[in-house]
Amino acid sequence: MENPFGKITTIASVLELFHDGMTLMFGGFGGVGSPPTIIDGILEKGIRELTLIGNDTGFPHIGIGKLVSHERAVKVIASHIGSNPLAGQLMHDGKLEVEFSPQGILAERIRAGGVGLAAVLSDIGMDNEMVSKDKPRFNLDGKDYLIESALTAEVAIVYAKKADEFGNLIYDKSARNTNPLVAMAGNITIAEVEEIVPIGSLNPEEIITPGVFVDYLIPSKGVNWKWAWE
């Protein structure tokens, strides 16, 4: 029977949405909570010149770090890259542009993008040249603030423990991390999930990401879904 909601699909289908030179936002913290099947698919398809937006660059062979290590990214917007020494080397060699944003500010910039704000004001990092360089300032009630632009992406990829057919998502403990914010900020959001259940099966109080933010659902590698509508 045909999927009545049109969100459940395959990795092969969603890979058609990725292209060279695109902006890609990803969930995860040190690789935990990043969607492995999607990342491996992007790597295998040979997508290049990516601008990546997320908390960090993972590890050399874990999470988004796989794309960085294979030199598929030209720019990264992240809070740190220290867990991936290859990212640091690429930055040092001039092969990877890195825009650092304090972790809380980065999360707020992503949230702002998700709710339709153009920017947020912050006094964090005003005395840090790496953070404040070239950023405009705004005076509010006699106090100066940095204007931190909101962040969005052509495609956002997230990882969830469970979803229903409409795309409502539940995350697994710390693997939740930045995923709910990232899910809001993509023009298209793809969720890789471990389990799918019929609509009405999820406790509404446990749903973190409403399905309205999710465009596509794909099964995580090695997971055999039972189609709920069959």
Q: Read out DSSP for 133-160?
A: TT--EEEETTEEEEEEE---EEEEEEEE
> What is the structure's pLDDT at 132?
83
- pLDDT of 4 higher than 70: no
pLDDT given for residue 159 in this prediction:
98
Q: Is the pLDDT reported for residue 104 higher than 70?
A: yes
What is the mean predicted confidence (pLDDT) over 163-167? 94
Kindly state the helix (H) or strand (E) to which residue 137 belongs, with its residue range: strand 137-140
Q: How many CB atoms lie within 10 A of CB 91?
A: 16
Which structure tokens are listed for 51? 């601008």
pLDDT in tens, 6-65: 799 999 999 999 999 999 999 999 999 999 999 999 999 999 999 999 999 999 999 999
Q: What is the mean pLDDT of the chain?
A: 92
Q: Give the pLDDT confidence score for residue 228 in this predicted structure.
A: 44
Query: Is the pTM here over 0.95, yes or no?
Result: no
Contacts of 106 (CB under 8 A, 6+ apart): 55, 77, 78, 79, 151
Q: Is the pLDDT of residue 224 over 70?
A: no
Superfamily (CATH H level) for 11-219: Glutaconate Coenzyme A-transferase (3.40.1080.10)
pLDDT, position 2:
45
| Dihedral over Cα of 192, 33, 43, 76: its sign | positive
> Residue 65 corresponds to which tokens in the numbers above?
């770090």
pLDDT average, residue stretch 65-87 = 96
pLDDT of 192 above 90: yes
What pLDDT score was predicted for residue 130?
75
